């Protein structure tokens, strides 16, 4: 089954900027998919449309077969989103942030608490559960964002640059965690500027630039087709050629 | 959402609950006790009895409005609102969550100010249902109004302009401190265009059974404004205006 299905998707902002120029994309359930592209390429707009934060101006998008506009509420139940920026209440305690988030998905407190405990333990935040989130370090805040996105056990996890500003050791720990939940069945879409990360984790890759998909194929085949060069080098060649 | 807002209101009680209680206490002391003792009875009530319902209503209006406008704008500004918007909650439920927070704070403040009022004068209760209905519906109306303001606010200035330049004048001219019967006919007619007049009078009727305006008309106006503002708010949310991109 397709976790994400996008057909001829378009977005033109009010000021005339065309962020998506009719892109099509299919991501299978269980995939670990890397969505790459420079700043302003259209990645965040695409994620915004999928999650209901941005209105599309044309085309279709569906999550597990549910249209994001006509069946938006159902489509949203499948998604966990880790946005680029920290956007939790900085005055709220870690545990309460997750319990509140679970409430948004109709999960009562007594059901949410065991899930919250498991997630916080998995992500090494259990000791901080009663701390206000503003007291967490940068790495802990990133992990809290992931825990929050997973509290309703989504089938699809979308990570928009989840490891930005995270040190190498912690990034590796996060990779391990993401591999684990992917192996357990969660479909993952990852956008990142750390191309090594995408190379290590993703089975399929798409490169988007100026609102158009330039590449959409299995990671292994893509690397082999480019003489097994590093993803970063191939990426720079493709984006550089576009710029020229 | 409601639980979170309740915890916030209680946690920062010195910002949310205490200021209106202190401000209103000063009104009770200055206008009610010092100046009011020099004034004649209005509609058979001592001056302080006459102004207490209006002052409670003023606190409720301000607190309800400020709660929704500030929490909604803060949620937009910090992007915590995005987490609500990406969840499967329908628009009406999101609106209900924010409005409930405003109503909760409005009622908490209203009860506290009412208790303080009892230290200054005797308050009768003519009709408890009218009293509660006027209090709750006014709080609902201004919570919705605050949310509409929050939708359009593009900065912190945007959340203070309406309370300062619209809400405060309307409240002061809304029959809290006087009966419109004391006005010449022209100004009585002008006063009837102020919606707060109807709320204050409905609430005062609930206490003492006196009102400048027919109680049915008061609730009709209140209900009409709630319905109109709710339709506007739902339309704004559906269209994503000030909420989504």
Position B138 pLDDT exceeds 70: yes
| Cβ-based neighbour number of residue A18 at 10 Å | 15
- Measured CA to CA, the distance from residue B1 to residue B7 in angstroms comes to 10
Q: Which residues of B110-146 are buried (b: 16+ CB within 10 A; e: fewer)?
A: bebbbebbeebbeeeeeeeebbebbbebbbbbbbbbb
- Measured CA to CA, the distance from residue A36 to residue A58 in angstroms comes to 22
Distance from CA of A56 to the nearest CA of B (A): 9
- Measured CA to CA, the distance from residue A229 to residue A235 in angstroms comes to 10
Give residue A166's pLDDT. 79
Query: CB–CB of A96 and B4 under 8 A?
Result: yes
Q: Is A86 left (phi over 0), alpha (psi -120 to 50) or beta?
A: beta
A100 → chain B, closest CA residue: B1
Question: CA Rg, chain B, in Å?
Answer: 18
Q: CATH number of the domain at A1-78+154-216, please?
A: 3.40.50.300
- Measured CA to CA, the distance from residue B145 to residue B95 in angstroms comes to 11
Reported confidence tier of residue B41, pLDDT bands at 50, 70, 90? confident
Give residue B35's pLDDT. 86
Domain locations in chain B as residue ranges: 2-239
Percent of chain A whose pLDDT exceeds 70: 98
Per DSSP (E only), the strands in chain B are none
Query: CB–CB of A85 and B80 under 8 A?
Result: no
Least confident of A9-13, A62-66, A98-102, B183-187: B183-187
Average pLDDT value for residue range A37-56? 94
Reported confidence tier of residue B137, pLDDT bands at 50, 70, 90? very high
Q: How many residues does chain A have?
A: 244
| CB proximity list for B56: less than 8 A, separation 6 or greater | B24, B110, B113, B114, B117, B135, B203
Reported confidence tier of residue B185, pLDDT bands at 50, 70, 90? confident
Distance from CA of B17 to the nearest CA of A (A): 19
Average pLDDT value for residue range A56-74? 96
Reported confidence tier of residue A93, pLDDT bands at 50, 70, 90? very high
Give residue A61's pLDDT. 97
Distance from CA of A87 to the nearest CA of B (A): 5
B244 → chain A, closest CA residue: A53
Report the residue from B7, B84, B245 with minimal CB separation from A48.
Answer: B245
CB A11 within 8 A of CB A20: yes
Average pLDDT, chain A: 93
CB A22 within 8 A of CB A8: yes
Reported confidence tier of residue A224, pLDDT bands at 50, 70, 90? very high
Average pLDDT value for residue range A40-45? 92
Residue A129 Cα distances to A140, B84, B137, angstroms: 11, 22, 39
Percent of chain A whose pLDDT exceeds 90: 78
- For B187-243, write each residue's pLDDT tens digit: 889 999 999 999 999 999 999 999 999 999 999 999 999 999 999 999 999 888 888
Query: CB–CB of A51 and B86 under 8 A?
Result: yes
- For B70-112, write each residue's pLDDT tens digit: 999 999 998 999 999 999 999 999 999 999 999 999 999 999 9
Which residues of chain B make contact with A83, given a CB cutoff of 8 A? 79, 82
B155 touches A: beta carbon within 8 Å = no
Average pLDDT value for residue range A57-75? 96
Quick check: helix, strand or coil at residue A64?
coil
DSSP state of A66: E
Query: CB–CB of A55 and B4 under 8 A?
Result: no
CA proximity to B43, closest of B55, B31, B34, B51: B51
Report the residue from A54, A76, A90 with minimal CB separation from B244.
Answer: A54
Reported confidence tier of residue A101, pLDDT bands at 50, 70, 90? very high
Position A228 pLDDT exceeds 90: no
- For A108-140, write each residue's pLDDT tens digit: 999 999 999 999 999 999 999 999 999 999 889
CB A189 within 8 A of CB A149: no
Give residue B124's pLDDT. 87
Position A241 pLDDT exceeds 70: no
Give residue B86's pLDDT. 94
Position B116 pLDDT exceeds 60: yes
Position A244 pLDDT exceeds 70: no
Average pLDDT value for residue range A210-218? 94
Query: CB–CB of B79 and A85 under 8 A?
Result: yes
Average pLDDT value for residue range A88-113? 94
Domain locations in chain A as residue ranges: 1-78+154-216, 89-153
φ/ψ of B39, rounded to 5, equals -100, 155
Query: CB–CB of B90 and A48 under 8 A?
Result: no
Query: CB–CB of B88 and A73 under 8 A?
Result: yes
Reported confidence tier of residue B34, pLDDT bands at 50, 70, 90? confident
């Amino acid at each position: 089954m397709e976790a994400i299905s996008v057909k001829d998707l378009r977005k033109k902002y009010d000021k005339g900027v065309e962020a998506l120029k009719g892109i099509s994309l299919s991501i299978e359930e269980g995939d670990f998919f890397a969505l790459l592209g420079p700043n302003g390429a259209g990645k965040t707009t695409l994620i915004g449309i999928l999650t209901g934060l941005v209105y599309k101006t044309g085309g279709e998008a569906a999550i597990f077969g549910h249209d994001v506009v006509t069946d938006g509420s159902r489509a949203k139940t499948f998604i966990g989103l880790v946005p680029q920026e920290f956007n939790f209440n900085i005055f709220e305690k870690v545990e309460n942030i997750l319990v509140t988030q679970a409430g948004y998905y109709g999960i009562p407190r007594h059901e949410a608490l065991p899930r919250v405990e498991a997630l916080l333990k998995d992500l090494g935040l259990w000791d901080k559960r009663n701390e206000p989130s503003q007291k967490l370090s940068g790495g802990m805040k990133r992990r809290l964002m992931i825990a929050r996105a997973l509290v309703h056990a989504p089938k699809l996890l979308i990570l928009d640059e989840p490891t930005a500003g995270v040190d190498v050791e912690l990034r590796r720990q996060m990779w391990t965690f993401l591999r684990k939940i992917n192996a357990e069945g969660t479909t993952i879409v990852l956008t990142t500027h750390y191309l090594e990360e995408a190379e290590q984790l993703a089975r399929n890759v798409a490169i988007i630039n100026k609102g158009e998909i330039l590449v959409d194929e299995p990671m292994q085949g893509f690397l082999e087709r480019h003489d097994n060069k590093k993803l970063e080098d191939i990426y720079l060649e493709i984006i550089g050629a576009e710029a020229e | 959402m409601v639980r979170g807002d309740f915890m916030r209101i209680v946690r920062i009680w010195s910002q949310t609950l205490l200021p209106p209680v202190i401000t209103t206490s000063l009104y009770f002391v200055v206008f009610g006790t010092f100046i009011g003792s020099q004034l004649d009875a209005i509609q058979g009530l001592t001056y302080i009895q006459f102004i207490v319902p209006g002052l409670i209503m003023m606190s409720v209006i301000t607190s309800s409005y400020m709660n929704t406008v500030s929490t909604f704008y803060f949620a937009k500004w910090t992007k915590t609102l995005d987490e609500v918007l990406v969840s499967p909650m329908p628009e009406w439920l999101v609106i209900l969550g924010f409005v409930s927070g405003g109503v909760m704070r409005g009622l908490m403040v209203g009860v506290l100010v009412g208790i303080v009022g009892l230290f200054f004068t005797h308050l009768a209760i003519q009709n408890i249902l009218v009293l509660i209905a006027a209090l709750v519906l006014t709080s609902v109306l201004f919570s919705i109004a605050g949310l509409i303001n929050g939708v359009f606010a593009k900065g912190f200035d945007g959340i203070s302009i309406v309370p300062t330049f619209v809400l405060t004048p309307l409240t002061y001219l809304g029959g809290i401190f006087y009966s419109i019967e004391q006005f010449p006919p022209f100004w009585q007619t002008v006063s009837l265009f102020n919606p707060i007049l109807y709320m204050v009078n409905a609430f005062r009727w609930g206490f003492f059974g006196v009102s400048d305006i027919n109680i049915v008309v008061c609730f009709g106006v209140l209900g009409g404004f709630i319905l109109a503002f709710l339709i506007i708010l739902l339309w704004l949310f559906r269209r994503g205006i000030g909420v989504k991109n």
